[in-house]
Amino acid sequence: MRTGLAVLALATIASACGQGDSSEVTPAGGQQALKEPPARALDAYADRLRAAHAARVAAAKRWGLKRVPLTAPPPPAKKPEITTRDGFEVDGHRRLGLPPVFTTVPTEEKILFLTIDDGDEKDPAFLRMMSELKIPYSAFLSDYLVKEDYGYFKEMRDRGAGLHNHTLHHPYLPALSYARQKREICGMQATVEERYGKRPTLFRPPYGNYDRNTLRAAKACGITHVPLWNEEVFVDHWEYREWDRGLHPGDIVLSHFRGREDWKGTMPDMIRRFLNKATAEGYAVARLEDYL
């Protein structure tokens, strides 16, 4: 990937040299003077790459990782077609144009997508760890927990995480009427928009349970995708949906905002387990929103 970036940088510089810059001064004789020789610009770019890698190596050591996390490839220019996983459809799913329910994003790249639910634990160390390691993730939030500290999740958003809908009160949705489900979903849409400035398009039903009314309500509230998960990671173990108990390209991984009150460890402990396995098996972590 570094080679590709270097080639791209050189091509960009060469293109700029060929096209010129309206801000440059043209000396006598009609030839434009370059602001910076191509070799020097490429050297500066390489220096930035080296510095970024050194910072990543230092962060991996500081957070106790076995290896430096791999860097995900650039997202595709053309987004993959997302369809509902077989067996996850509801009656009239396609006819009604309901949001797709899926556990894996179609891709041949060895990437995973980390998603974290609810908002109970608000650990500052987790924010530092994810920022220093530059690991992308998506948060699916429930207001009854988030409202204890809206500012924590604002900082999370400012550091690049996507904030999405996990209902207001985390109920078992299939037990509710369509109207009550819609209040739970649309209510959280409004809360996220009010607090964080952007209305979500991604929704995850609590416990992964939904029915036809859930998806109808989600669509009415502006939801376009319903990502579930293929694996779940805890502090001390993994759980798998598939029979082979393994990772697959494009898998969505679930975890939760939890701490020592619920787990035998902290959120950084969970991230350490997640990254050690992903990296050892050759997987990088990509940003889910870039693929939808």
Of residues 19 and 150, more confidently modeled: 150
Q: In which band, very low, low, confident or very high, does the pLDDT at 2 lie, cut at 50, 70 and 90?
A: very low
pLDDT at residue 27 tops 80: no
Judge whether residue 251 has pLDDT over 60: yes
Which class for 132: exposed (0-12), middle (13-18), buried (19 or more C-beta within 10 A)?
middle
pLDDT, position 221: 98
pLDDT tops 90 at residue 25: no
- 136-170 residue pLDDT tens: 999 999 999 999 999 999 999 999 999 999 999 99
Task: Choose the weakest-confidence range: 9-13, 28-32, 141-145, 281-285.
Answer: 9-13
**pLDDT tens column, 183-214:** 999 999 999 999 999 999 999 999 999 999 99
Please give the mean pLDDT across all residues of the chain: 90
What pLDDT score was predicted for residue 34?
52
Which positions ≥6 away from 157 have C-beta within 8 Å? 163, 196
- What mean pLDDT do residues 100-121 have? 98
Angle formed by the axes of helices 267-280 and 124-133, to 10°? 30
